[in-house]
Amino acid sequence: MAELEKDKPHSADYFGEQRNFWWNQDFLQLMGKRWGLEKININTVLDVGCGIGHWGQALAEILPVNAQVTGIDKEIKWVKEAQKTAEAFNLGERYSYVQGDIRALPFEDNLFDFVTCQTVLIHMQQPQLVIQEMIRVLKPGGLLVTVEPNNLARSLVYSSLSFTDSIDTICERVKFQLICERGKEALGEGNNSIGDLIPGYFAEAGLNNIQIFMSDKTFALFPPYNSKEQQVFKQQYLDWIEDNFWIWDKQETKRFFLAGGGTEAEFELNWQQVMRENQLWKQGLLNNNYHTGGGTICYLISGYK
Ligand SMILES: C[S@@+](CC[C@H](N)C(=O)[O-])C[C@H]1O[C@@H](n2cnc3c(N)ncnc32)[C@H](O)[C@@H]1O
């Protein structure tokens, strides 16, 4: 339950404006066709671990206009914020949000036509248990869709700055992130790269017509960064660098690194290195010589009950 005790609400560092650029709408339209949304009668939708509503609301255009969407999150701050964002997008009548624990969903069996989550199973000690819960509240014949990444892969995506790094530097970067990911998992806070295993969990859970796709979205940045999206990402990165933020803040990173088997001394060396890289990144962004294709591994995994 450690995850329920933190003072800062869960994932607070990741709910900036940049999240609004996570999906290409034409890709979601395509996914709607591939999932066969028009063939099932969707009246009720559940967005599990909804945060401020980003994922469920991104689906608004591919869901029937009369479908009622419920979002659930453990953080009351996010529940309130999600309702506000729904209203801001004129979705207030279709979307409502409740506080609750997704490990024991406060809904009866066989209630929803469509149950979904995004970047939630990566934070679960027992992702299979949450999948079971999502299946329990899904109607027979209903659709389950989860969106989960392999975040470790990002440590190998080049930028113009990292392209010529030594092999040792690249391996150290991957190792640092891997130790932290292992530590996070050891602490019961989920594996940040669990996306690779979700298709197998769906099969074990007995879902039918399982399909796996990957988001076609990349987070490319290249000078002069003049699209709205690139401006938002550039500013987000500069803000993170200003705050000495990496994937997590220093305290959280250290907690994960030590739990993953690293020592205090190794942590300090690794942290100094990522902070040095942050400063190079900042200069690259400000001097227009940072660029990357920004690829990610983000799976969309679907199956029918
Ligand atoms: C990375 S965020 C994803 C939010 C949203 N799905 C999105 O993609 O924008 C993970 C969310 O899961 C929620 N969460 C984590 N553990 C939970 C639990 N046991 N019960 C309910 N919500 C939980 C967090 O509060 C957070 O809002």
Q: Which atom of ligand 1 is nearest to the CA of 54?
A: 9
Q: Which atom of ligand 1 is nearest to the CA of 19?
A: 9
The ligand 1 site (C-beta within 6 Å) comprises 3, 10-11, 14, 19, 49-51, 54-55, 73-75, 78, 101-103, 117-120, 123
Q: How far is the C-alpha of 220 from the C-alpha of 229, rounded, in Å?
A: 10
Give the tens place of pLDDT for each residue, 235-249: 999 999 999 999 999
C-beta of residue 40 within 8 angstroms of C-beta of residue 106: no
CA 52 – ligand 1 centroid, Å: 9
pLDDT at 5 over 80: no
CA 287 – ligand 1 centroid, Å: 36
Count of CB atoms within 10 A of residue 159's CB? Answer: 17
Residue nearest to atom 14 of ligand 1 (CA): 49
Give the tens place of pLDDT for each residue, 162-195: 999 999 999 999 999 999 999 999 999 999 999 9
CA 164 – ligand 1 centroid, Å: 37
Q: Which of 11, 52, 117 to mutate to test the pocket of ligand 1 (most atoms within 8 A of CB)?
A: 11
CATH class assigned to 1-150+193-217+297-305: alpha beta
Q: How far is the C-alpha of 68 from the C-alpha of 70, rounded, in Å?
A: 7
Compute the mean pLDDT over every residue in the chain, rounded to the nearest whole number: 96
CA 215 – ligand 1 centroid, Å: 20
CA 3 – ligand 1 centroid, Å: 11
Peptide bond into 224 cis (omega under 30): yes
Residue nearest to atom 12 of ligand 1 (CA): 49
Provide the percentage of residues in the chain whose pLDDT is more than 90: 94
Strand (E) or helix (H) holding 40? none
Give the tens place of pLDDT for each residue, 223-235: 999 999 999 999 9
SS (H, E, C) 204-255: HCCCEEEEEEECCCCCCECCCCCCHHHHHHHHHHHHHHHCCCCCCCHHHHHH
Helix segments in 19-61, DSSP class H? 25-35, 54-58
C-beta of residue 188 within 8 angstroms of C-beta of residue 3: yes
Q: Take residue 159 and report the two structure tokens written for it.
A: 């930028």
Give the tens place of pLDDT for each residue, 50-104: 999 999 999 999 999 999 999 999 999 999 999 999 999 999 999 999 999 999 9
Q: Which atom of ligand 1 is nearest to the CA of 75?
A: 25
Residue nearest to atom 9 of ligand 1 (CA): 54
Count of CB atoms within 10 A of residue 271's CB? Answer: 17
The pLDDT of 192-202, averaged and rounded, is 98
pLDDT at 251 over 80: yes
What ranges do the domains of the chain cover? Answer: 1-150+193-217+297-305, 152-189+222-289
Q: What is the pLDDT of residue 16?
A: 87
Residue 13 pLDDT class (50, 70, 90 cuts): confident
Helix and strand numbers (H, E) in the chain are: 9, 7
CA 10 – ligand 1 centroid, Å: 7
CA 108 – ligand 1 centroid, Å: 21
